[in-house]
Structure 1
Amino acid sequence: MKTIKKTKEYIYQINGSKFISICFYVEEICTINDILSKLKSDHRKAKHICFAYKIDDKQKFSDDNEPQNTAGKKILETILINKLHNILIVVIRYMNGTKLGVGLLSRSYYHSSTLVTNDLENICDLSLINIYKITIELQRANSIIEYLIKNKEIIFNKTLNENNLIIETSLNNQIINNFENPIFIKKTYIKKTYNS
């Protein structure tokens, strides 16, 4: 799976219309309304604020009063063609009264959203991993942490009590059996950038 590393903004102008495309990494649909509300507040003079998103197997688009399927659907197409996940792309249109016509309008929204998907420096791999809680005796803590790091596992949290260290970590299938009673906590997404 692929996603974006960070929120970025791109601008495309044609025949008096200015299209501002902004991409957001999202994991939950409930955050989308907050993002859209802020954008509507920040861009009160914009004529249209169109969007599309894909989170897991859920996807949706909005044309925001543009002619049907000329805006949001074109944005969603770029997300699906590029196999992006956990992404919201919003395209904000300012116009000076010049009509583009349905064909040019549709191509403009598509082009605006491809500015996001063609920015390869901002695209990264996305993995869904399991997080487990493991309890370790204090005298073994350092060697276990070294083992997890050597196996490229991610340590999310460490809690110390009198006798044990409790670690929340990813565990791949090859090493999970090396631990007694790991407790599954949740699934989560991680971005892999490889250049950091």
Structure 2
Amino acid sequence: MPYLIPESPHHTRYEVKKSQFTGYAAPASSREQAMDFLAALRQQYPDARHHCWAYLLGPPAAPVSVAMNDDGEPSGTAGKPILNVLQHNNVGDVVIVVVRYFGGIKLGAGGLVRAYSAAAQMTLESLPTRQLVKQTTLKVETDFRHEQFVRHYVEQHQGDILQTHYQQHVVIELSLPDESIDELFSLAGSMGFTVRSD
């Protein structure tokens, strides 16, 4: 099932009763990536009162892993509302950190839940995303005269050239969206180069 992933890091600011809630979202395909993003924000805003976060790895409908943290806010008032927003949108492989600067007026548990939810929702709604396309790694062995054709085909179909080895033939390791693979195999047959998936 295709789903959306963040295209680039993004942030929005939300203010309530002089407290500032800045939501930061970024791509994260592993716990390490999510924790690195959190660590960078802690370093950037060491004076903030709280750095509350949640992440969702894999497809939103059936995540591989989820986690959250209230970072000193009353239990269940920050990490859970952020995670709740993540679980009700079609965006996966994502981390959201809400950085809070306290404005001097207590919001109460209900107020905190609403503020963290709103900050996460605003950030996610305006987050630039792209469709995650399943890709497969292939090896193409071709003579030199078809190398440019193969490179052009991969570029046209939003694939990636991973590496190229030059021997008697050119061996190109590439990744290609699954829906473009059959066509490459049939072109290989008619043009005389070989494609294999290891």
Q: TM-score, normalised by structure 2?
A: 0.82
Indicate yes or no: 2:55 matched with 1:53.
yes
Higher normalized helix content (fraction of residues): 2
Report how far residue 100 of structure 1 moved.
0.1
> Does structure 1 retain, via aligned residues, the 8 Å contact 2:21–2:98?
yes
Evaluate the alpha carbon distance shift between residue 149 and residue 17 of structure 1 in structure 2; reply closer, same or farther with a 3 A threshold: closer
Indicate yes or no: 2:194 matched with 1:163.
no
> Does structure 2 retain, via aligned residues, the 8 Å contact 1:51–1:63?
yes
Report how far residue 149 of structure 1 moved.
4.8
The structure 1 segments of at least 4 consecutive aligned residues displaced by more than 6 Å after TM superposition are none
Query: Aligned equivalents of 2:45 and 2:150: distance in 1?
Result: 51
2:183 to 165, 175, 180: 175
Match of 2:102 in 1: 95
Indicate yes or no: 2:19 matched with 1:14.
no
Q: TM-score, normalised by structure 1?
A: 0.83
Give me the identity figure in percent. Answer: 24
Evaluate the alpha carbon distance shift between residue 9 and residue 136 of structure 1 in structure 2; reply closer, same or farther with a 3 A threshold: same
- Within-5 A mapping of 1:1-196: 1-56=3-58, 57-119=64-126, 122-149=128-155, 152-171=157-176, 172=178, 173-175=181-183, 177-178=185-186, 179=188, 180=194, 182-184=196-198
Higher normalized strand content (fraction of residues): 1
Evaluate the alpha carbon distance shift between residue 95 and residue 149 of structure 1 in structure 2; reply closer, same or farther with a 3 A threshold: closer
Evaluate the alpha carbon distance shift between residue 100 and residue 128 of structure 1 in structure 2; reply closer, same or farther with a 3 A threshold: same
> Does structure 2 retain, via aligned residues, the 8 Å contact 1:153–1:169?
no
Structure 2: gaps of 5 or more residues: 59-63, 189-193
SS of equivalent residue, structure 1 residue 107:
helix
